[in-house]
Amino acid sequence: MPEIKPYYNSTIICPVCNKQIQVTKVRSKFVKLIKQDEDFCPYYESINPIFYEAWICGNCGYAAHSTVFNNATTNDQRVILNKLKGKWTKREFSGERDVEKALEAFKIVLYNLQLRSGSFSEFAKICLRLAWLYRYKGEWVNEHKFLKFSYDYYKKSYTGEYLKDGKLDEYTCMYIIGELARRLGNNEEALQWLGRLITASARADEKGRIPPVILENTQNLIYDIREAQKKKKMSGTEYDNKKTS
Ligand SMILES: [Zn+2]
């Protein structure tokens, strides 16, 4: 019997050029989550399904997150075909991916979003994944750069579109903005966003709308930030004492 691989190719029709293409998917039974960071960056025992979330048509260059790949509008179709005409080198993107290949694929998705002026929430999601990929590689400067992009896009989508499109609820969005602010070293702003969530949870009509895991994560995060601030204050005091003694 041939060995079953953790990934397999699936044939789909590209919604932009209408050609048959192959995308690679991961078999769920091989996906074993070990842990998640506070911003939901996941770590897996072996195969990482995040690597396969960026789908690309090797024929025309259209690319999107797998969950919205088929949502290309006729306007997107026109824009992508026009703007990539003569610029795209046909190539294959199916098969096993390592972190480098995943980075390349997500950057093509990001480029596509720029071409077709994607929504803030799409930009935010793709930039967050790029930050995670750099985190896996231990490249802090690049991770920080994409965390900042993601943070800015989440804030824009929170004030603009998020609440309407309903894909990510208001409170998960609030939590992510708070967590990204913390990661970017802005604890005061993080506490403001997380504090708003806690305030909302005190209202009976709102509490039911907050996913329990988000509320729990928020409480943990506020605790961690306060502890870090206390420690910083204490070490600052020690330093002051040494200076004056
Ligand atoms: Zn295509």
Do 214 and 197 touch, CB atoms closer than 8 A? Answer: yes
To the nearest whole number, what is the mean pLDDT of the chain? 92
Domain count, the chain: 1
C-alpha 149 – ligand 1 centre gap (Å): 27
The answer to the question of residue 125 being in a domain is no
C-alpha 16 – ligand 1 centre gap (Å): 5
The answer to the question of residue 51 being in a domain is yes
Q: Which amino acid is at 7?
A: Y
In terms of Cα–Cα distance, which of 11, 49, 54, 45 is closest to 27? 49
In terms of Cα–Cα distance, which of 64, 212, 45, 181 is closest to 125? 64
Mean pLDDT (whole number) for 216-238: 89
C-alpha 7 – ligand 1 centre gap (Å): 22
Q: Which comes out higher in pLDDT, residue 240 or 154?
A: 154
The answer to the question of residue 82 being in a domain is yes
C-alpha 10 – ligand 1 centre gap (Å): 15
195, burial (CB in 10 Å: exposed 0-12, middle 13-18, buried 19+): middle
What is the three-class DSSP state of 12?
strand
Angle at 134 between CA 43 and CA 136, to 5 degrees: 30
The answer to the question of residue 156 being in a domain is no
The answer to the question of residue 2 being in a domain is yes
C-alpha 57 – ligand 1 centre gap (Å): 5
What is the per-residue pLDDT across 46-65, written as a single tens digit (0 to 9) for each? Answer: 999 999 999 999 999 999 99
What is the per-residue pLDDT across 81-130, written as a single tens digit (0 to 9) for each? Answer: 999 988 999 999 999 999 999 999 999 999 999 999 999 999 999 999 99
**3: containing domain:** 1-118
pLDDT for the residue 206: 85
Tally of CA atoms within 13 A in the half-sphere of 113 that contains its CB: 23
C-alpha 173 – ligand 1 centre gap (Å): 32
pTM: 0.91
The answer to the question of residue 130 being in a domain is no
C-alpha 77 – ligand 1 centre gap (Å): 9
C-alpha 96 – ligand 1 centre gap (Å): 20
The answer to the question of residue 128 being in a domain is no
- Residues sharing a CB contact under 8 Å with residue 10, sequence separation 6 or more, in sequence order: 22, 23, 24, 25
Q: Where are the beta strands (DSSP E) in 52-179?
A: 54-56, 63-65
C-alpha 170 – ligand 1 centre gap (Å): 34
Q: How far apart are CA 210 and CA 192, in angstroms?
A: 17
What is the three-class DSSP state of 41?
coil
C-alpha 124 – ligand 1 centre gap (Å): 24
The answer to the question of residue 109 being in a domain is yes
- Percent of the chain past pLDDT 90, that is, above it, reads 80
C-alpha 165 – ligand 1 centre gap (Å): 26
C-alpha 164 – ligand 1 centre gap (Å): 29
What is the three-class DSSP state of 26?
strand
Tokens 């080198």 belong to residue: 89
